Amino acid sequence: MFAVLVWFVRNWCNEFVFLMGLRDDELPGRHDKAIWAVVLLLLAPVGVWLFRSFRMARWPETQFVRVDYSQAMDNPGDEAARQPA
């Protein structure tokens, strides 16, 4: 039970910090930031889910790319030859 509460508080904090980090012009309406803050505060379990779905539709998470540097480290002289002068 405690783990679920910690998980929820962590997710709520992440969503609230994301909301507060947005500029007003990044949201479609005039009072959207205040409305979302009230929803997150008063309707906490449902509000987190609603804002998370709105956030994922509006600002999808970026995909991280893994870069393999092992090939460049095997032949360090070849890397210098490919660099423009």
pLDDT, average across residues 6-16: 93
Q: Are 43 and 36 in contact (CB under 8 A)?
A: no
Q: What is the pLDDT of residue 66?
A: 76
The C-alpha atoms of residue 37 and residue 50 are separated, in whole angstroms, by 12
Q: Give the global pTM.
A: 0.65
The overall average pLDDT reported for the chain is: 83
The C-alpha atoms of residue 68 and residue 17 are separated, in whole angstroms, by 33
Taking 60 as the threshold, does the pLDDT of residue 58 lie above it?
A: yes
| pLDDT tens sequence across 24-41 | 888 888 899 999 999 999
